[in-house]
Amino acid sequence: EKGGYPHFMLKEIFEQPRSILDSMRGRLVAENTQLTMSSIREYANRFKNAERIIIVACGTSWHAGLVAEYMIEELARIPVEVEYASEFRYRNPIIREGDIVIAISQSGETADTLAALELAKSKGALIFGVCNVVGSSIARATDAGAYTHAGPEIGVASTKAFTAQVTVLTLISMMLAEMRGTIEASALRQLMMEMEQIPSKVEKALELDAEVQVISEIFKDATNFIYLGRGFNFPVALEGALKLKEISYIHAEGYPAAEMKHGPIALIDENMPVVVIATKDSSYEKVVSNIQEVRARKGRVIAIVTEGDTVIPQMAEFVIEVPSTHEALVPLISVIPLQLLSYHIAVLRGCNVDQPRNLAKSVTVE
């Protein structure tokens, strides 16, 4: 059942080229710039005129929501707010009829996410679901939705569900941009062509496994980790830190790289591993300065960079090179080595990676 892998988590990490493809199947044909998602078309007018999109989710699904915030605002120019479902539902949120609420959930059973969408529904918002489990409670409670089609996820730590969520949300962002006329045809086509190449680039990123394993050996006894990223990679930093805490029980914090100087920089010394996602994108130069700040305090930098980078290898102690892609699609690639890092560190520490202590696959309690 684990397909030859020692753990479900590793199997699911390696399934991603396939699961991402499954999430796109029948929905994206770059050659003729064709995007198909009937549930979006069905509510085309609501989406076209949406005043605001509110995303509600928990945990890793909330991180996928953050990626979507950057993407929808950039491509479709609709204001987006991303909310922890548990906070949203208890604070008398302002919801208007022109609002669209997107609920993201792998299991489709998360109690807080379900309650948040019920609340929004009672106030007249259109509710759209992005779920993995077909027929789940959240999927049934929504007005419309798109399944992620990642297949069953058994490992408690979410991996392929995250990349499938980001994939579906990317397609939604592209459709909204097309419908609202906020993207040029040639730019859209280019983005779609890049998207079609993601599965093979993820395949390539998975070849980093042995390299990541070596780095994991070196840092397996660390007691703390910091993860930094900016822009589209900020949610990836949060996700990398969450993966590590969940399965290895190492304390880890994810931060937007520029926030470091407002506090967390005080934590940096020669014992602090700092994972910096520093791919070539619009915030690259800024992230390079952040790496220098960490180095100046003797922090141990593990940098995720774009293939061919010649600058960061001279500054970071360890460098992991990932294939380049469109800036908006980078999270689908940059998250892969972080999943592998948490997996290997947890295994080396003798942890139960598929069933970490105190965690359940579906959180059906508040």
**Which residues form the interface with ligand F6R (CB under 6 A)?**
58-61, 105-107, 110, 113, 156-158, 242, 246, 362-363
The rounded distance, in Å, linking the Cα atoms of 198 and 233 is 16
Q: Between residues 167 and 325, which has the closer beta carbon with respect to ligand F6R?
A: 167
CB of 313 to ligand F6R, least distance (A): 31
From the list 121, 204, 220, 361, the catalytic residue is 361
| 160-180 and 16-24 helices, crossing angle to 10° | 30
Nearest to 177 by CA among 270, 68, 283, 298: 68
- Minimum CB separation of residue 146 from ligand F6R in Å reads 15
- Give, for 33, the enclosing helix (H) or strand (E): none
Residue number, 283 or 334, with CB nearest to ligand F6R: 334
Say which residue the tokens 């987006």 belong to.
80
Alpha-carbon span 183 to 234, nearest angstrom: 24
* Shortest distance in whole angstroms from residue 131 CB to ligand F6R: 8
CB nearer ligand F6R, residue 58 or residue 274: 58
Alpha helices in the chain, H assignment, sequence order:
8-14, 16-24, 38-42, 44-48, 59-76, 85-89, 111-122, 137-141, 160-180, 185-196, 198-206, 209-219, 234-248, 284-296, 331-348
Q: Between 59 and 273, whose beta carbon lies closer to ligand F6R?
A: 59
State the SS3 of 262-277: HCHHHHCCCCCEEEEE
The CA distance from 8 to 159, in Å, is 10
Annotated catalytic, 361?
yes
CB of 67 vs ligand F6R, minimal distance in Å: 14
Rounded distance between C-alpha atoms, residue 104 and residue 116, angstroms: 11
What is the smallest separation between the CB atom of 77 and ligand F6R, expressed in angstroms?
A: 27
Residue (263 or 357) nearer to ligand F6R, CB? 357
Q: In terms of CB distance, is 36 or 90 closer to ligand F6R?
A: 90
CB of 15 to ligand F6R, least distance (A): 16
How far apart (Å, rounded) are the C-alpha atoms in residues 158 and 100? 26
Report the DSSP beta bridge partners of residue 57: 84
Active site residues: 361
